[in-house]
Amino acid sequence: MTGPTTTVYAITSLNAQDVRPAELARHIRGHRRLEALHHIRGVTWAEEASRVRTGQALRAMAALSNAAIALHHPMGWTNHAEPCDHYRTRPDHALQLLGLAM
């Protein structure tokens, strides 16, 4: 399966003997996905503005954000603010999504 081609420019200190092009491309794609996840969490849930800074609470907040993002994609949501607004105003739908419908 192929999709659209994206051109990415990167600078690395590795030489051609240290890494194969496919490995480097895989690493760059993984890094871009991670950066995209951090962007979504930062914009949608304003993590940078949070007063939670250390310990288990920070990990829990990140885990809950990641879980919410993971639930949004299979349902067809592409803008993560929309499902947040939707479930905030319809908590019964959120419970149904989690299999906890009343």
Per-residue pLDDT of the chain (102 residues; tens, 9 = 90+): 677 888 888 888 888 888 898 898 888 888 888 888 888 888 887 877 888 777 788 888 888 888 888 888 888 888 888 998 998 899 999 888 888 876
pTM of this structure: 0.62
Alpha carbon distance, N-terminus to C-terminus of the chain = 41
Q: Which domain holds residue 48?
A: 21-97
Do the domain assignments include residue 90?
Answer: yes
Count of domains forming the chain: 1
Do the domain assignments include residue 32?
Answer: yes
Do the domain assignments include residue 16?
Answer: no
Residue 72, exposed/middle/buried by CB under 10 A (0-12, 13-18, 19+)? buried
